[in-house]
A = this chain, B = another copy of it.
């Protein structure tokens, strides 16, 4: 246990009050301030005892300042200075002076000065830390999360939190200036089985009923448009009870927006203006004057994914016609079965060893259900590999030309169902780009992806589901398919939606759409999703009603704030930009949450737990 003083004398309290009132930011002091009396408070960051002198690097939120405790100055209080230890909290008064030229620390913003201590008070002590604040590279994430209050003292974490705050304020300032109103929508919501799994909250006042935490304020923001708010935004927590994948959190922060009397062009213009201004202000990055657009079709064809990383080229190339003229049965069969055959040329990839390639093969089999991974190295005398024998000289030359390969490159091939081909080569593209350093540093490639299908067929059940959500408007020119039951059965997945995603460096940072603003059309889309009118009214009755009372055309978007920060701060994980994140098991290691609760609490809620056997 610490030996911190439990209380202060009246005199000490008065002195602390004086320090509190006159405290300056330690990190802001400069040579120009030399000679003045300065009061600072903060933490003992580094400590060095040199006989009659004690040097302390004092840390506060603004930075670091060197303090000098001089025995000849402090007399009988010098013992106390010698008793200081790391992370003790102190208040200090002294004279700021220039350091001797040889003592200047160029790495420190305050490196030309130091504070000669005249008076000080220990405000709190600290136990020895479980890990050092300043060098912690070998500290595991579990320990960092358990002692988050220490982890957050590190520069990287503090900077991330400060920039997070600035980003939020900058967004709000911009949107307020652009006529947007921030409206708070409820956290205690209605459960709708669509979409991901809900977190549920048992209601005590309505026993056996439940609230759900919002996956997004989708319906409420549409309601706000019906209510005539025209421009809404909110930076808001959303929740998904999913099995947490690598970089997901059960609660995450969304910039949620909706606008009335808009079409895709007005929405994307508004958002481009916002992001250009905000990103410039907060991260000093200049986004392009106009964000490029790409169709969902082109994204998948060329990059194998609907969130293409455009910082580098390396497109997927269709070689089905070449494969068909070859003797390579695997690919020929794939084409015959309606599949695709594509190639990916990796510049410099010929240096991959057999072992490397075997590993990649295992990976694409495991993760993307590929049957295997064919490849050819471009050697001095042309394309070579175990499969090159199935292609005659002309075809090999044609392959080299089509893929743009040069000596030293490797070409990978996939021939399979379209999804397998695109997943395999799309992911291989990213992995190879990292492996061969093909991604320029500090490049920012932003792109709108649009023209998504409205529905997609479930691979297992064959049923159609919404690609985005059931409130997304279809393209007007595809409505005839929607309203014709027979045509819909055959061509339902050809209807394109009015949705748009914003993709940055291969990550989806936002997604939205123009919404359905007409009750009949909304009912029609729900019907096509297998939801009859009765069920629709039970679940979304208030939306259907609202759409019948003068709903304006409207559309919006939601951006992932955690993701935007992670990208612009070059962090590994969204956990590094969240003050108190949870583990992949949804656990808070610091507060030990979730936890068991009193059976009395459950009784009041009229629920009981089903024990695990």
Q: Give residues in A with beta carbon < 8 Å to B.
A: 1-2, 4-8, 10, 13, 16-17, 19-21, 23, 41-43, 59-61, 87-89, 91, 123-127, 129, 147-153, 158, 161-162, 164-166, 168-169, 172-173, 176, 181-191, 193, 197-213, 219-220, 223-224, 226-231, 237, 239, 241, 243-244, 250-251, 253, 261-263, 265-266, 476-477, 479, 483, 517-521, 541-542, 545-546, 548-553, 578-580, 582, 585-588, 590-598, 601-612
Contact = CB atoms under 8 A, between A and B. Distances in A.
15 contacts: A1-B520, A6-B520, A10-B477, A91-B261, A126-B548, A152-B227, A161-B229, A189-B591, A191-B597, A193-B601, A197-B601, A206-B586, A207-B609, A207-B610, A209-B597
- Please list the 4 inter-chain residue pairs (A to B) with the smallest Cβ-Cβ separation, ordered nearest first: A190-B593, A126-B550, A152-B227, A87-B550
B208 A596 contact: yes
Contacts of A165: 176, 181-183
Instruction: Give the one of A61, A200, A520 with max B CB within 10 A.
Output: A200
A17 B263 CA distance: 7
Contact of A224 (B201, B476, B579, B596): B579
Contact of A16 (B5, B176, B188, B553): B553
A606 B10 CA distance: 56
B239 A551 contact: no
Instruction: Give the one of A5, A165, A207, A209 with max B CB within 10 A.
Output: A165
A2 B182 contact: no
B149 A594 contact: no
Contacts of A231: 61
B601 A200 contact: yes
Nearest to A612: B207
Contacts of A59: 228
Nearest to A5: B518
A213 B123 CA distance: 33
Contacts of A158: 227-229
B229 A61 contact: yes
B610 A609 contact: no
Contact of A152 (B228, B251, B601): B228
Q: How many copies does the complex hold?
A: 2
A162 B191 contact: no
A228 B60 contact: yes
A227 B160 CA distance: 13
Contacts of A16: 263, 553
A580 B220 contact: yes
Given A190-B592, A191-B597, A591-B542, A152 B224 contact: yes
Nearest to A521: B6
A181 B161 contact: yes
A59 B230 CA distance: 12
Contacts of A606: 609-612
A88 B153 contact: no
A227 B153 contact: yes
Contact of A593 (B150, B189, B552, B603): B189
A476 B230 contact: no
A549 B127 contact: yes
Nearest to A150: B549
Nearest to A17: B263
Nearest to A87: B550
B188 A250 contact: yes
A483 B436 CA distance: 67
A149 B549 contact: yes
Given A6-B479, A188-B250, A586 B203 contact: yes
A577 B402 CA distance: 64
Nearest to A12: B476
B607 A609 contact: yes
Contact of A597 (B153, B210, B483, B580): B210
Given A2-B548, A20-B261, A210-B597, 8 more contacts: A124-B550, A124-B553, A191-B593, A193-B598, A198-B597, A207-B609, A209-B595, A212-B597
A608 to B, nearest CB: 6
Contacts of A604: 197
Contacts of A224: 149, 152, 579
A266 B20 contact: yes
Instruction: Give the one of A153, A542, A587 with max B CB within 10 A.
Output: A542
Contacts of A176: 165-166, 169
B551 A205 contact: no
A7 B579 contact: no
Given A123-B552, A224-B579, A19 B87 contact: no
Contact of A587 (B60, B126, B206): B206
